Amino acid sequence: MHPEAKKILVREEDINSRVKELGDLISRDYRDTDGLLVVGILKGAVIFMADLVRQLTIPVKLDFMAVSSYGKASESSGVVRILKDLEHNIQGKHLLIVEDIVDTGLTLKYLKENLETRGPASLKICTLLDKPARRKVNVEVNYNGFIIGDEFVVGYGLDYNERYRNEKSIFILKPEVYAS
């Protein structure tokens, strides 16, 4: 276990198993379409998205958005800024937003509203982690990896101050690491 981990929350084996299940479910749901545009939210969703798309058995295109609502803080500011927008035209396309964690819901609510104005055929959300105890706005998550409690977690793409993304498991970070 990482020395700054309070506790492992989701083991690597459990992540791999759940990502496979999500890939199977998404492939089934989109099997009668001409494919899916998978949009990863940088940087946290990259590892999850890479593993997820390798499980899909349908035609897939990839794109990315970068947004900021945290900065270097451990809590969302609630102000969402688009730092990198999509390169693909999404009008008439089936779109799947892939996120690492849904916390307050503010970022995803903003992104979903923004992207819906661009006319996709459908828009769904897939997240690795869902933290409903912190929700400030209602946002529908269509594909959910794990529901977790109100803990500060890192690993498997999730970071604190750009650290821990490369950890294979998800762990609760010791509070003294981020409480300064």
Q: Which residues are catalytic?
A: 103
**How far is residue 102's CA from residue 76's CA, in Å, rounded to a whole number?**
11
Q: What angle do CA 55, 56, 59 make, to 5 degrees?
A: 150
**How far is residue 164's CA from residue 180's CA, in Å, rounded to a whole number?**
18
**Across the strands, what pairs with 56?**
none
SS3 16: helix
Q: Which of 96, 82, 91 is nearest to 117 (CA)?
A: 91
Go through 169-179 and write b for each residue having 16 or more CB atoms within 10 A of its CB, e for each that does not.
bbbbbeeebbe
